[in-house]
């Protein structure tokens, strides 16, 4: 009896600490990031960044290529004692600074990772 290798989907590991994510991301094959924007009813205003999400792909851990995810929301960088309008530009710069810091060390592209598990059933070899 021969063993047939079956691809498996290992879901991304969510990391809460930015410094921990940066440490892991140094060993990634590739990093992708996606910026989410606040919904604005006024078309003449510039969209404001709401969240940045990173996926570090192909981090070798115990022989497995692991994906690690990190997300930072604007509420985590804003000063709640100040008015939103007074700090909106600062918040967006803080979120974009995260992108620049990581981009300096690892290949990175802008894009979102689809988390739906692929259907490999058509690739399975049946005896």
Residue 11 has pLDDT above 90, yes or no: no
Identify the structural domains of the chain with CATH numbers, from first to last. 13-108 (3.30.720)
| Interval 31-49: pLDDT, tens | 999 998 888 777 667 778 8
What does pLDDT average to over the chain?
A: 81
- Mean pLDDT value of segment 66-81: 89
Rounded (10°) CA dihedral 110, 116, 122, 127: 120
What's the CA gap between 7 and 101, in Å, rounded? 34
Question: What is the model's pLDDT at position 38?
Answer: 81
Q: What phi and psi values does residue 66 have, to the nearest 5 degrees?
A: -95, 150
């Amino acid at each position: 009896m021969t063993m047939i290798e079956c691809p498996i989907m290992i879901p991304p590991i969510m990391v809460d600490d930015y410094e921990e994510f940066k440490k892991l991301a140094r060993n990634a094959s590739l990093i992708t990031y996606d910026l989410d924007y606040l919904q604005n009813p006024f078309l003449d205003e510039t969209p404001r960044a709401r969240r940045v999400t990173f996926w570090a792909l192909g981090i070798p851990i115990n022989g497995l290529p692991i994906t690690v995810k990190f997300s930072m929301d604007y509420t985590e960088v804003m000063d709640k004692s100040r008015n939103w309008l007074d700090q909106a530009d600062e918040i967006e710069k803080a979120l974009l600074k995260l992108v620049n810091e990581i981009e300096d060390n690892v290949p990175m592209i802008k894009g979102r990772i689809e988390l739906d598990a692929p259907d490999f059933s058509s690739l399975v070899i049946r005896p």
